[in-house]
Every structure is written in C-alpha cells, then in structure tokens.
Structure 1
Amino acid sequence: MSKQLHSELSHEEQALSSPSPERLLAWRLYFESALALIDVLDSALERDAGIPMRWYDALIHLEESPEGLRMNELAERILYSKSGLTRVVDRLEDAGLVRRVRPENDRRSILVVLTDQGRAMIDRARRHHRDSIEQHFSEHLSDTDIKALTRALEKLSAHVRPLRPGRISG
C-alpha cells in the first residue's frame, strides 16, 4: 500500500511540477503564431518596401536616436548578436541607408547614424509594415484581447529579456 501511495504522490508531484495541457497549448500556439507572423510580416515588408524586417528593426532604433548609436548600444536594442549586427549594418551602409561615424570626443567608438535615404526608407516601410500588422495581427483581436495579450507579454518580456543568452546571428 505504501508503494501505491508513493506512486500516487509521484504522479501528483509530477502534475504539480510540469506545465498543464492548457499551458503547453498556450506555449505552442504562441510559438507557432509568432514564427508564422514574423515570416508573413518579413515577406510583406520585403515585397512592399524592399527591405527585410531585420533591416527595418535596426533602422527604427536608429531613427529613435537621431544622434546615432554605438554598435554595442544598437546590439542591445535588437535581437541580433554583435557579429550578426555587423553584417546587417554593413548591408545597410552598402545600401546608403546608414553611415558609420567616429565621434570627435571618443575616437575609439563608432556611431551608426541614419542617412536621409535611410529616413526616407523608414517612412515608406513604416506605412507598409503598419498595414501588414493591422491585416495579419490587430484586426484579428479585440481591444480586450490586445490589452490582455499586452499585459501577458509585458510580464514574459520582463522575465526573458535579461536572460537572452543567444541572439539571432543575422
């Protein structure tokens, strides 16, 4: 009888320590939806504005910092490794959308700044990207859904952002 009780406790303990089917389903749906949405939005941005989403992400962060960003600052703000970011910035620079500048007060660092052509690209891409977000994300969720999702993702983001061990290599 004690063997049976031990077995039952083990099952109960396992049930308490492992995610419920609802939590596993939530994870799977989140993961599949996020990956699919990223693919859809990336394809639409490439088709409509001529740039991939990884470029758009870097350009948006540079637009938010008109004085430019050091490479390590930009790497911290986006989801790419430093080597992946270097490749993205190389391509953006080759396309004339950004330029690298050495600040007068710190000759060791390099700032990445948005060019006029980069600003024009962001303006054009932003309209297309917002339309795609509306079409493939926002219009499928109620205001209540959006608020609940935002609250849940804020909690999740606060936990996982500091843990980001590996970033996308570009």
Structure 2
Amino acid sequence: MVCVDPSNNVTFWTKHYLSETSSCEESQDLVHMVKERLLESTTEFVVGFLTPSCDFETKSERELTHFSENTALFLTKLHYGNWKKLEEKIRKQLGRKAGKVPVKIITGAFGDSEKRTGHVFKVVVVDGKIFGTYVGVNFDGSEKKTLCERKPDCGWSSKEGKIYCCTLNARLMKRMGLELADLNN
C-alpha cells in the first residue's frame, strides 16, 4: 500500500508485510567498496527505496517496488550506512516471526520548512503492537528542535547517518502523516 499526494507527486509512506523468507543477499566485496566511497561523501543525496524489494517473496511483488512512488531522497551516508543496517536488523530479528504473526512495516519520509525530505522513518508493528519506531535524520547539521521523545540510544554510529529510536505519539504521527487506522489495517 502506498499513501501518495498525486497532485504534488509526493509519497508520504508505504506499508508492507514482511515475508518469512525476506532476504537481501548482496556481493559483500562490491557492497563494501561502494559503501566506503559513498560514506566519505557528506552532502550527496541518493534516491532510495522506502520498501526494499527483497522484503517480498514473488518476482512480481519485487518488481512493483521499482516505481517512483516507492522512493525518497536519502542522504547518501544514511542510506548506505545505518538505514541498510536497520533494514537488515529488522529482517534478521523478525523474519522468522513473519510466518506466524503479521509483521507490518510502514516506511516514509517527511520534509522540513524548506519542503525537502528532512527525515525518513520506519514504524514496525508486530501482531498489532508497536515493535519500534525509527527516524533517520536526512541532512547534515544540527536539529533546531526535538523531533521525538527518544527511547534509549539505538546504538547507531552517527558517522553513518543519525537514526533515533522514538516513542510513537500523536505529535510524531502527525508529522509522519499517519493515523491510528494506518497502524491497525
């Protein structure tokens, strides 16, 4: 499912259910070389997928993720750094549960006053309960105001992109463009 503003060609968020067989196998040598070069850049942006194609079982489902509605601009070091690690961690921790209980992942982006992608987020719902809310800072520099009520440190290296573990409250849901029904359906 994709929540889009078609008149402005803006995607707010995507929602998918994690498959029990989700796996993103990559050539580690190539990925490591590319990642090292990209992490050195601090101002470059890259187009990234909100919902990773490898989270789906069938070829047709994976192919459907390659449309512009499933993309957002990511700070390069965040996208190839901690964001990928977060996606891998979710797959590893919850992949086996996905066959037994529903594991819903809502991923999106929201802007700042300059109408650019300021933050990207993932809300993970396992069997109807919030498992985790993660917000990535999608720009270099300091934040002017507190984005969310933070849970204890996630342990992500900030040189690979800042990600906060947040408490999902009404204020943050409004910033994300989410309603309670989005979490429950």
TM-score normalized by structure 2? 0.21
- Work out which structure has the larger RCO, using CA pairs closer than 8 Å and 6 or more positions apart in sequence: 1
> Whose strand proportion is higher, 1 or 2?
2
> Whose helix proportion is higher, 1 or 2?
1
